[in-house]
Amino acid sequence: SALNIKNVLRDASLISIAGIGMVMVILLGEIDLSVGSVQAAAGIVAVAVLNDQESIYLALGAALLTGGLIGLINGLLVTKAGINSLIATLGMMAILRGSAMVSTQAVSIQGKVSGFVEIGTGYFASIPIPVIVVFILFIVFYYLLHYSTFGRYLYAIGGNPQASRLAGLSVDRTKILVFVIAGMLGALSAFILASRLNSGQPNAGLGFELQVIAAVILGGVSLTGGVGSLAG
């Protein structure tokens, strides 16, 4: 039915939003296992700020800031500390999940602002709002990846980081930026999920990272980096 198709698209939108960031991370030859725990941590922060400030915009800003900070830490661990991204983000996944459980005492935080739930469950011209968000993000990042200098640098670094460094490209800065973007997109996905549930859940996103990574790989992005596209 039409309603079922809309519900499937709404569910897929969460994976798609986080998947856009994961595409860029994997194109660099890296991986981010913390995206599932970001859904829990950023969702809790968003609902906490929402209830305290009674502002959906501040809640969104807090969620994006949380995701960006997590991505920044991941990027610094990978580039400056020289830790393999699999290990660094696996550790971050455990830290975030534990922090979410401890900070909420393993109990969900209910949203108390009317209208918040509309972001995740509402429609615009009978199209689910999260699907529209995915469409806009796809256009923006498709252009960045395939028609901008940043995109060319990203593919070059993923294909051969040593040659890219010798050619004068800022490999570390690009990787850090990509991890930050991926963190913010994961946090946006978390914000929409929190809106759908009208709550911040410490167990949100369990196994979500595997769904996102699987979607990206099935779309043709190579785990070795440098090959693949957002369209796939």
Q: Dump pLDDT digits (tens) for 173-199.
A: 999 999 999 999 999 999 999 999 999
* Average pLDDT of span 68-79: 98
HEC letters along the chain: CHHHHHHHHHHHHHHHHHHHHHHHHHHCCCCCCCHHHHHHHHHHHHHHHHHHHCCHHHHHHHHHHHHHHHHHHHHHHHHCCCCCHHHHHHHHHHHHHHHHHHHHCCCCEECCCCCCHHHHHCEECCEEHHHHHHHHHHHHHHHHHHHCHHHHHHHHHHHCHHHHHHCCCCHHHHHHHHHHHHHHHHHHHHHHHHHHHCEECCCCCCCHHHHHHHHHHHCCCCCCCCCCCCCC
pLDDT at 17 over 90: yes
Quick one: pLDDT at residue 163? 95
The residues near 52 (Cβ < 8 Å, ≥ 6 apart) are: none
Quick one: pLDDT at residue 114? 87
* Average pLDDT of span 80-98: 96
Quick one: pLDDT at residue 29? 94
Q: Are 170 and 161 in contact (CB under 8 A)?
A: no
37-67 pLDDT, tens per residue? 999 999 999 999 999 999 999 999 999 999 9
User: Mean pLDDT across the chain, nearest whole number?
Assistant: 95
pLDDT at 148 over 90: yes
Cα four-point dihedral sign 154, 25, 30, 76: positive
Tokens of residue 119, six digits: 């972001």
In the block, tokens 């549930």 appear at: 197
107-138 pLDDT, tens per residue? 999 999 989 999 999 999 889 999 999 999 99
Distance of CA 155 to the CA centre of its chain: 20
Quick one: pLDDT at residue 86? 96
- Could you give the percent of the chain with pLDDT greater than 90? 95
Q: What is the distance between the alpha carbons of residues 47 and 41, in angstroms, rounded to a whole number?
A: 10
Q: Phi and psi of 128, rounded to 5°?
A: -55, 135
Q: Name the nearest CA neighbour of 46 among 106, 102, 96, 109.
A: 109
- Could you give the percent of the chain with pLDDT greater than 70? 100
Q: Phi and psi of 162, rounded to 5°?
A: -65, -45
Q: Phi and psi of 115, rounded to 5°?
A: 100, -20
Quick one: pLDDT at residue 3? 87
* Average pLDDT of span 65-83: 97
